[in-house]
């Protein structure tokens, strides 16, 4: 004899399984005396409904599948944390699965979710939209997180890199910096590309007369240090470095100081992301509330499942400027032209 079933409860309470089901699901049409007998039987037997049977019958699992890439760092942990918060608030469970580079295995992972989840949250920054579209069961509602490109027909959630870069460029100009260089992230990365493109545009728009230099980088601390070295040895009169992420900014910061530069007086340094280390080092950067993105993704998905929200379109999450000590405090009266 395994776990007690609804039948055992019915027998014990001398009622039919239908009544037990009704009582358990809080339907009104059960005499309160009957309900009491049933509840007593439930606790006596330690009965717990079987979720598999339930989802089979209802074709509703009250669970959300989360598909993440293989290498999950800070970003994914944070994101899942936000999802978890919102999901448990809404009474949903989270089912985790990671998407390997191997598209064969990815398909497997997605299959394994069929029947256990009502919808999907997909974090796939490096999967091509087309192959993603192909792998996703089209019957399953899904929200895409930080997916490259807008081409997909699914609702999505993204960091508003453009707005973030804009705010940072504005801050640098307002603080009096004039010769700004952007250290970009790796080519393959969507965020890196967006940030670099947005930098060029922002400079063009906010300070068309100033040069908008862009150097190559790789999102690593060493990459940032290398860029700094190049700046130190070069003859361009750089007075601010805007790195595409915090780790590069930190590498930069150290290398510049080691090279005898005063930060922020001689040269300003800024990053993007606001990782814990950035706050610790008092680095000026753009804070990205990743957990909020995760929470919002769950919220949108659940709304779709409940038939409430329209759910279409890509929603942008605006980063927030954290002006700290690696840039000069904003001058009271600025000569910078506003857009």
- Footprint of a second copy (CB under 8 A): 2-3, 48-56, 59, 61-63, 68, 72, 77-78, 80-81, 84, 88, 93-98, 100, 109, 111-116, 137, 139, 276-277, 280
Closest distance to a second copy from the beta carbon of 91 (Å): 8
Query: Token pair 């992230």 is at which residue?
Result: 185
Q: For a second copy, give the closer residue by CB, 287 or 330.
A: 287
Q: For DNA, give the closer residue by CB, 49 or 129.
A: 49
Q: Could you tell me which residues come within 8 angstroms of residue 277 by beta carbon, excluding any fewer than 6 positions away?
A: 246, 250
Indicate whether 108 belongs to the interface with DNA (CB under 7 A).
Answer: no
33, 34, 29, 30: which is closest to 15 by C-alpha? 34
Q: For DNA, give the closer residue by CB, 17 or 212.
A: 17
Closest distance to a second copy from the beta carbon of 300 (Å): 19
List the single partner that 72 binds among a second copy, DNA, none, CB under 5 to 8 Å by kind.
a second copy
Contact 7, 46 (CB under 8 A): no
Contact 192, 218 (CB under 8 A): no
Contact 179, 239 (CB under 8 A): yes
Closest distance to DNA from the beta carbon of 49 (Å): 4
Site track 194-223 with DNA (rule: CB under 7 A), x = hit: ------------------------------
Measured over the CA atoms of residue 295, residue 301, residue 307 and residue 308, the dihedral's sign is: positive
Query: Token pair 């019915």 is at which residue?
Result: 10
List the single partner that 31 binds among DNA, a second copy, none, CB under 5 to 8 Å by kind.
DNA
List the single partner that 130 binds among DNA, a second copy, none, CB under 5 to 8 Å by kind.
none
Contact 232, 256 (CB under 8 A): yes
List the single partner that 62 binds among DNA, a second copy, none, CB under 5 to 8 Å by kind.
a second copy
Q: How many CA atoms lie within 13 A of 103 on its CB side?
A: 11
List the single partner that 93 binds among DNA, a second copy, none, CB under 5 to 8 Å by kind.
a second copy
Q: For a second copy, give the closer residue by CB, 95 or 232.
A: 95
The CA–CA distances, whole Å, from 42 to 12, 49, 73, 227 equal 9, 10, 44, 67
Q: Could you tell me which residues come within 8 angstroms of residue 99 by beta carbon, excluding any fewer than 6 positions away?
A: 67, 68, 69, 70, 106, 109, 122, 124, 127
Query: Which residues bind to DNA, rule: CB under 7 A?
Result: 2-3, 5-7, 14-19, 21-22, 24-25, 28-31, 33-35, 47-50, 53-54, 56-59, 115
């Amino acid at each position: 004899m395994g776990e007690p079933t609804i039948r055992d409860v019915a027998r014990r309470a001398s009622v039919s399984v239908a009544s037990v089901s009704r009582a358990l699901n809080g339907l009104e049409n059960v005499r309160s005396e009957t309900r009491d007998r049933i509840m007593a039987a439930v606790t006596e037997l330690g009965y717990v409904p079987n979720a598999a049977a339930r989802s089979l019958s209802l074709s509703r699992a009250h669970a959300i599948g989360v598909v993440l890439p293989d290498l999950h760092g800070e970003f994914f942990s944070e994101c899942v944390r936000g999802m978890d918060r919102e999901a448990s608030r809404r009474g949903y469970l989270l089912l985790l699965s990671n998407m390997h580079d191997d598209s064969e295995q990815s398909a497997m992972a997605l299959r394994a979710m069929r029947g256990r989840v009502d919808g999907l949250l997909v974090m796939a920054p490096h999967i091509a939209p087309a192959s993603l579209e192909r792998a996703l069961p089209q019957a399953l509602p899904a929200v895409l997180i930080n997916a490259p490109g807008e081409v997909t027909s699914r609702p999505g959630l993204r960091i508003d890199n453009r707005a973030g870069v804009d705010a940072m460029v504005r801050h640098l100009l307002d603080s009096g910096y004039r010769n700004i260089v952007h250290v970009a992230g790796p080519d393959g990365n969507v965020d890196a590309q967006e940030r670099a493109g947005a930098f060029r545009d922002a400079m063009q728009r906010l300070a068309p007369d100033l040069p908008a230099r862009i150097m190559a980088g790789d999102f690593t601390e060493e990459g940032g240090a290398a860029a700094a070295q190049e700046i130190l040895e070069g003859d361009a009169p750089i007075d601010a470095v805007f790195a595409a992420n915090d780790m590069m900014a930190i590498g930069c910061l150290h290398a510049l100081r080691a090279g005898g530069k005063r930060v922020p007086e001689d040269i300003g340094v800024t990053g993007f992301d606001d990782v814990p280390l950035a706050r610790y080092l008092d680095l000026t950067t753009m804070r990205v509330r990743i957990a909020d993105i995760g929470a919002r993704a769950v919220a949108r998905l659940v709304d779709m499942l409940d038939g409430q929200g329209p759910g279409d379109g890509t929603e942008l999450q605006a980063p927030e400027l954290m002006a700290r000590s690696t840039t000069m405090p904003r001058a009271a009266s600025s000569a910078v032209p506003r857009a």
